[in-house]
Amino acid sequence: DNRRPASESVIVATKILPPYDHESISNSVSDCLKRLNIEAIDLLYLHRWDSSLLNPEVFSSLGNLVEKGKVRMLGASNFTSEQFRKAVGLQKEKGFPAFRFIQNNNNLAVSDISEDLIAFCDEQDISVVTYSPLRAGFLTGKHSRGVQPGTRFEIIPGVQDIYFNEKAYKRLARLQLIAG
């Protein structure tokens, strides 16, 4: 077996998408371990909320992966405060391994980190990780004349509505004024 453990100074994190069921979760983790040639995923994020998370069997499957040492820690990504509270409540109620991280979008134009979410995470000793500080160049002014060809905004057009709106443009203008 030539699979290597992750370095002590590096945390290997990855995400899985719904559907969240025993087979999909197990297959996603096994495939990831093989692709990365590692023994365990340090941090496994559930990429987004899905109603299947209301099924305790999902958390049982995740717990089995933790118990077997294939996953060391669990996290959630792109959950609202309400969704995260539901999931954490179910984990606690059933005695499953708890989320230790939440990862949501957070930058000057758009933030999915609410005060309620921060307070809840503080209470539960859950770390908050953010992503997209410059949002694929939106906050650098790269797209001030519209979506640039070949960029993430062109490839994933659904994300455009989140950024290309009056509120986000006002925040960008303010940032540019201050930075200038």
Q: What is the mean pLDDT of the chain?
A: 92
Q: What is the model's pLDDT at position 1?
A: 47
Better-predicted residue by pLDDT, 119 or 158: 119
- Mean pLDDT of all residues in 89-101: 97
Residue 78's SS3 state is: coil
pLDDT band at 160 (very low <50, low <70, confident <90, very high): confident
Residue 106's SS3 state is: strand
179 token code pair = 């930075």
pLDDT band at 152 (very low <50, low <70, confident <90, very high): confident
The continuous run of DSSP H or E covering 13 comes out as: strand 13-16
- pTM beyond 0.75, yes or no: yes
